[in-house]
Amino acid sequence: MTGGPARSEVILRVWTRSILIAIVVWLFLRTFVVEAVRIPSGSMEGTLLVGDFLFVRKAFYSPHRGDLIVFQSVEEPGRKLVKRVIGLPGDTLAMQAGTVIRNGAALAEPYAVSADPARSESPENRARMRRWQLPEYAGPDPEGYRPDLHDWGPIVVPPDSLFVMGDNRDDSYDSRYWGFVPRGNVRGRPVIIYFSREPDSWNALPWLSRVRWARIFSLPE
Which is catalytic among the residues 18, 73, 80, 83? 83
Beta pairing class for 152-156 and 68-72: unpaired
168 and 113 in contact (C-beta within 8 Å)? Answer: yes
Q: Which amino acid is at 168?
A: N
CA of 34: how far to CAs of 22, 164, 191, in Å?
A: 15, 22, 9
Q: Is 58 annotated in the active site?
A: no
82 and 58 in contact (C-beta within 8 Å)? Answer: no
Residue 157: exposed, middle, or buried by beta-carbon count in 10 A (0-12, 13-18, 19+)? buried
Q: Which amino acid is at 167?
A: D
Which is catalytic among the residues 8, 18, 41, 43? 43
For 92, which DSSP code? Answer: E
For 219, which DSSP code? Answer: P
Q: Is 18 annotated in the active site?
A: no
Find how far residue 52's CA is from the centre of its chain: 12
In order, the DSSP letters of 147-158 are: -BTTBEEEEEPP
129 and 46 in contact (C-beta within 8 Å)? Answer: no
Q: Catalytic positions, please?
A: 43, 83
